[in-house]
Structure 1
Amino acid sequence: MEESKDDHDDGSVARVAAIDIAKATGMVCLRIPHDTIEGRRVQQVWTVASTTNAILELGDRLVCQGVQRVVMEATGSYWRPFFYLLEARGLECWLVNARDVKNVPGRPKTDKLDAVWLAKLAERGMVRASFVPPKPVRQLRDLTRTRTVFIQERTRHKHRVDKALQDAQIKLSDVVSDLFGLSGRAMLDALAAGERNPRALADLARGSLVKKKPALAEALTGQFEEHHGRLLGVLLGTVDHLTTQVQELDRLIADLMKQTTAPYDTGGPSDGDDTGGPSVRDGVTAQELAERLDAVPGIGPATAQIVLAEIGLDMSRFPTPNTSSRGRSCAPARFSPERRTPPARRARATHGSRAPSAKPPTPLPAPTPSSALATAESSNAAATPKPSSPSPAPSSSSPGT
């Protein structure tokens, strides 16, 4: 443990603690006012293990010191134990972006100096807290993000199925728009089960594909071997497993959204307003909010769930709905409005491209004359004054038109 004194006491928080978090430890810096000397501050820096008991002991110590705010950096997922346990202890925890507190060139970088620097920024009110949703919304976010990952992984395995078919000269995807539709999946299951007759496979077509049986028989004629059948069976089993997991996540998300209630103003009228709509006492659930978002064009049920999981149910956390320096609601929900560049500036704004120039092209240099001719021309040029070149006339059309 180290104690030192600092002459700076112009911060907005009198008692502050900062934590520079690593995987197994956290460097804690505590800055509190001096007991006897006014205007002085006492600084303590020590290391804390990232175990549950060590973090709980840290919380007790900070509470005894009367710490008003605990600030920590968003380092991977290692900040979660510190934030959740200290928050449960009753401390006000702020999670800040490391990009906002470490962009000082030339500053030495160690865990100890980072913790001290973060504490000084926090006590002066020079950091901004990131959005950390409450526990029910965090659980909803875990489920929606896991579902997104599983859907992406299932899509990858579907592409691998087509890759295996292409390796066996099976051009089924050229005729069937959806390999995993009713007809396509029946043909894939038959191939994995050992059926090799193209006409028998084409007879499994249903719906509008019945008219394409000759084309299907031609596309199903290839070099499909036993190796491809085993590989196809493994891929189809993985796709089915992921589909089952996605359906289970859908059920868990629906149940959690029915149980999660917004205990704050959701933008509806007050009790005295008879215009209808939700209010604080209505106990609006997340499922009802998702249904209202689903009514917006371009937003489906799954997207509405993701939006609520990312931005939460309390819109008062975001000062404005836009993505300016004060707004933070559209960007976390991945609904940031597109900034359209004017046509005349689009080429200049595009990375790696050049804007059309209004200047005339630079002429190629003249060939180098011989030594005698160069001497004569240089003497003539020195004797004759060079007339000034007139400025080019302005163009009637702007660049890019």
Structure 2
Amino acid sequence: MNIKLTLVLSDITGKSGMRIIEAILAGERDPKKLADLADIQCKTPKEEIAKALEGNWEEDLMFVLRQNYDTFKHFCVQLDRCDTELEKLMENYRTEVAEAGRPSYSPTKKRRDYHKRKRTVGFDVERKTYDMWGVNVFEIPGISHLTALELMSELGHDFTRKFPSSKQFCCWCNIAPNTKISGGKRISSHVPLRRNNVGLISRSIASSLANAKNQLGSFYRRIRSRAGGKAAVIATAHKVAKYSLPWLQTKHLITQKKSV
């Protein structure tokens, strides 16, 4: 329809885009009135938005637009239902694995520096992870709502009993080099070609830290300048799994209690 909304809005499913699309479907055709519906935080001038909304409004394409809009809304409702059902299952799981004496969840521990996504989980993932592990995994740079849920589904609450040391855990995650030494010389140290979901999640966390302004981000860039991007991802993922994941902190707390 000669509409170029994607050229003036970075995301047409955001507030500005959805308001404009809903007004078009309601019968509004004036480009200036449609441009005025853009959110106040939109950086594109309204004059440019109005120029991008000068269309021919063909009926068949309007029908296609409404079909796509209805489909988008349907999937949004389905995602909300999935979040509701997932929260119920996690609540049932939490009651089954509840431990006596675990520290209560404190909202003051919430991490505020992660980027807010347009589409987030419909419940407090941070609270659920704290109830499961007793530590706030969102203090780890690079952790998002989705990666936290993936770790919860892959690891469960009692995986600390299966790995006596961080070395064994990193080897199981396939983020530790398989160093082969013969005659006092290192022959190879390649990571095995083996798929592990927790290792893939750790690598995705490491990849998100490429430009982060923190210690892990500096570590990633230092390894990348010396050995390349792949080695930097593996090394940073290894550091995240070895020093940051909650199972080590839990073991540390247990050790402290025994020593006391």
TM-score by length of 2: 0.51
1:238 alignment partner, one of 71, 81, 96: 71
Q: How far off is 1:325 after superposition?
A: 7.8
Determine the C-alpha separation between the residues in 2 that align with 1:213 and 1:238.
28
Amino acid aligned to 2:149: Q
Residues 211 and 317 (structure 1), Cα distance of their counterparts in 2 relative to 1, 3 Å cut = closer
Alignment correspondent of 2:197: 332
Q: Is residue 172 from structure 1 mapped to residue 17 from structure 2 by the alignment?
A: no
Determine the C-alpha separation between the residues in 1 that align with 2:82 and 2:69.
20
Superposition RMSD on alpha carbons, in Å? Answer: 4.0
Alignment correspondent of 1:139: none
2:162 alignment partner, one of 317, 340, 351: 317
Which has the higher Rg, Structure 1 or Structure 2? 1
**Aligned length, in residue pairs:** 169
Stretch deviating more after TM superposition (328-337 or 239-248): 328-337
Alignment correspondent of 1:300: 144
Q: How far off is 1:321 after superposition?
A: 4.1
Determine the C-alpha separation between the residues in 2 that align with 1:298 and 1:344.
22
Alignment correspondent of 2:210: none
Q: Is the 8 A contact 1:286 1:313 kept in 2?
A: no
User: Counting helix residues as a fraction of each chain, which structure ranks higher?
Assistant: 2
Stretch deviating more after TM superposition (240-249 or 301-310): 301-310
Residues 250 and 206 (structure 1), Cα distance of their counterparts in 2 relative to 1, 3 Å cut = same
Determine the C-alpha separation between the residues in 1 that align with 2:156 and 2:27.
50
Amino acid aligned to 1:249: C
Determine the C-alpha separation between the residues in 1 that align with 2:83 and 2:38.
31
Residues 312 and 203 (structure 1), Cα distance of their counterparts in 2 relative to 1, 3 Å cut = same
Q: How far off is 1:319 after superposition?
A: 5.0
Residues 200 and 285 (structure 1), Cα distance of their counterparts in 2 relative to 1, 3 Å cut = closer
Determine the C-alpha separation between the residues in 2 that align with 1:232 and 1:313.
46
Q: Is residue 191 from structure 1 mapped to residue 34 from structure 2 by the alignment?
A: no
Alignment correspondent of 1:200: 33
Determine the C-alpha separation between the residues in 2 that align with 1:309 and 1:223.
50
**Percent same amino acid at aligned positions?**
27
Which residues in structure 2 correspond to 1:2-401 (within 5 Å)? Answer: 168-209=1-42, 212-261=45-94, 277=103, 288-289=131-132, 292-315=136-159, 316-318=161-163, 320-321=165-166, 326-328=171-173, 331-333=196-198, 334-336=201-203, 346=228
Amino acid aligned to 1:296: I
Q: 1:224-282 deviations in whole A, cap 9, x for unaligned? A: 4212211111111111111111111111122221221387799xxx98xxxx759xxxx
Determine the C-alpha separation between the residues in 1 that align with 2:97 and 2:38.
54
Amino acid aligned to 1:335: S
Which runs of 5 or more residues in structure 2 are unaligned?
105-126, 176-195, 208-219, 232-260
Q: Is the 8 A contact 2:9 2:44 kept in 1?
A: no
Q: Is the 8 A contact 1:320 1:329 kept in 2?
A: no
Q: Is the 8 A contact 1:262 1:285 kept in 2?
A: no
TM-score by length of 1: 0.35
Amino acid aligned to 2:13: F
Q: Is the 8 A contact 1:175 1:219 kept in 2?
A: yes
Q: Is the 8 A contact 2:3 2:54 kept in 1?
A: yes
User: Counting strand residues as a fraction of each chain, which structure ranks higher?
Assistant: 1
Q: How far off is 1:197 after superposition?
A: 2.6
Q: 1:186-220 deviations in whole A, cap 9, x for unaligned? A: 11112233433322322323314498221111011
